Every structure is written in C-alpha cells, then in structure tokens.
Amino acid sequence: MKKVLVCKEKDERETRVALIPDDIKKLVSMGFEFKVVSGAGLKSGFSDEAYKTAGASIVAKEEDAYDDSEIIVRIMKPESIDGIKKDTLHLSYMDPFNEKELLNKFAAQGIQAVSLEMIPRSTLAQKMDVQSSQTSLAGYVAVVNAAAKLPKILPMMVTPAGTINPARVFIIGVGVAGLQAIATAKRLGARVDAFDTRPVVEEQVKSLGASFVKIDLGEMGQTAQGYAKELTPEQIAKQKEAQAKVCEKANIVITTAKVFGRKAPRLIEKNVLDRMMPGSIVVDMACSTGGNVEGSKLFENVVTENGVTIMSGDLLERQVPYDASKMFSGNITAFLTHAGFYNKEAKEFNVNMEDDIMKGCLLTQGGQIIHERFKA
C-alpha cells in the first residue's frame, strides 16, 4: 500500500489539512504516491502548486481518486464513504464511541478504518499522537483568546501612575492542554493556579512556575492511558466547592476536563459563575462533549447576567491552522513510516496486526468491526 489520497475537509469551519507539502516530499522519496484534492491546504497556507512541487498530483474532488487510492487520510470523520473501495485504509478522527453507524458502514464496505483518537498513548506511539499535538495548541489558543477578551492586562506593570497587579488565571485539568495553558499564561506574566484530580501532576505544575491547588479527594489516580479516573459523586461535590473559592478570585478560568469516550464532567455551575467577578473569563474546552461549565455553547460566547464571559474552547487549534496542520501532518507521517508498518526495502506500507499500535487504532477489517471495545 503506497498510493495515498489527501482529502479536502468538507466542514467549512475546518481550517487544517492532514498532510503538508514538506512531509509529502519526504514520503514521496520513500516510495509513496500522492493525490491531493484541490484546495485542501489553502486555509492552512499551502497552495496546490506547493503540493505539485512536492511530488503530488492534484484532483478536483476526492471521489475522482477513490479507485486509485490504497490509503485515504483526512482530519475529521467523513460525511460519506460511498465509493471507497474494499480494503482501503482510511485514517481520520472517528469519534468511535458516538459513531457506531459509521463504523458499521466501514465494516460493511470492507474498508479498514483507523481511528486516530485510539492510537495508544505509549512512548513508542507518542510521535503519532494527534490528540496531544492538537490539544497542546488548543491550550495555547485558549489563553490567548481569554487574554484578548479580558478587560485587564495579564502581567504585573509598575508605572508612574501606579502598579497594576497581575491577572489571576486558574487552570482546571493538567493534561496536555492544561500544561500548555499554564506555560502560556506564565509567559504572559499572569499569576497561575492549577488543579488536577491526579496528584502525580503537581510537580509538573510547579516546574512551570504555577501553584498547585491541593484538594483532598481521597484515593485518586489515572488510567493506563494517562487519563484521570472518574470521580465519585462525593468527590465531585468536594472538588466543586474547593474550586469555587479559587474561581471567585480568578480573572480567567480555563477548564480542560474533556475525557475521550465519556461525557465531560460538570465542574462549574451557575452558582459558581454568580460568585465570579464581572469581566472575568471562563473558557470551556469540553463544550462538544457536554461542557465543563453550565451555560457554555459550542462555537459561541455567552455572557452571564453578572458579566462573566463563557467562551467556547473546543477545536481551538483551528485558529492556528498552519502550525496545527504541520503537527498533524507530522503525526500522520510518523504513522506511515513506523517500522512496524513500513518496509524500507520494498518501500511498502502494510497493515500489520501484530503491531500493538495497529491493534489499538484499527477498528474495522475484513468486513467486520474488529476492535474489542466497539464490537456489538
């Protein structure tokens, strides 16, 4: 398998492209062949001409290239898979826990579907982890967006007219997005507090110059994939009240508790928003999965009666499409050239089910759903 089709995203709000010209040039030298849908990279800053120079052919629409493609790559899950031939390897975000019908269609058509979200969070697979690369950028953008909306500056400033105290930023959830949000807020001069249900991240928070908010929730930990374990109702109530006291003093609050495959936990409710200062900003990075913040709306900003702005924080990486595409493309390139899949001598890509990475992310094969978590 070496004939690859790079699709143009159908959602008008999507700005990224799955592979950039520099990586295609590298992959062409390794034996891969590419077709790219015209305009696929324009919103990210990559022209059709740049793809041609890299060695790709340009096609008017993806359907025109299905018959001559063995691997199809895109960012978001497809709107339709009609026309994709049997045994094609399809790589994209899949949202598999909520898209059982789409999985069944992939299986029925004999398409081999890879869910990029399901790539194992292991050291070996780290360079392929689109979740981490994209949410890291989103954490950065969340802080920049909030700072632009906040009616005060972030750093401390001493002037002849008086001293301006630094803004206070509270980050709830110290995963990849949270760590980048902490680092960004610190670089901009804010005073940063952070909380996570996993005590193990305290040292990471402190290493970035932020303060770790300690809340005794009893026994806690993380899953084998590195996600926080689900809290009991009693632990959630205790966490909410402790967080509320920090939120009252914060100018910016960013919630990052978006857990793949589960509804987002509600961390900030109306009674907490009512206690916050007018003009303060809350960025909810889990709007699409139910929201961490009561009243948040996907792709919309909401202003409460007391003047708190709740900003939508989902898919913020789309606001920096050049770098987001570059990182996503690097992840895909790492996947296609992984030693477990790519044969250097033959210059061929193979779907190797003996490899743990492929076992973790390939959902359909041979006309059926093969991943244990999604079998009926």
Catalytic machinery residues? 121, 126, 129, 132, 227
Structure letter (DSSP) for residue 199: G
Bridge partners of residue 5, in order along the sequence: 35, 72
Structure letter (DSSP) for residue 56: P
Bridge partners of residue 158, in order along the sequence: 163
Residue (of 265, 264, 153, 283) closest to 217 by Cα position: 265
Spatial CB neighbours of 280, under 8 Å, sequence gap ≥ 6:
150, 250, 251, 252, 253, 307, 308, 309
SS3 72: strand
Structure letter (DSSP) for residue 68: G
- Tokens in use for 85? 């031939």
Report the Cα–Cα distance between both ends of the chain, in Å, rounded: 29
Q: What HEC string does 306-328 produce? A: CCCEEEECCCHHHHCHHHHHHHH
Helices 130-149, 176-187: inter-axial angle, 10-degree rounding: 40
Spatial CB neighbours of 81, under 8 Å, sequence gap ≥ 6:
90, 102, 105, 106, 109, 111
CA angle (352, 355, 358) in 5-degree steps: 75
Report CA-CA distances (Å) from 54 to 41, 46, 341, 362: 13, 11, 23, 29
| Amino acid symbol at 249 | K
SS3 211: strand
Measured distance CA(375)–CA(80) in Å, rounded = 21
Residue (of 170, 166, 11) closest to 93 by Cα position: 11
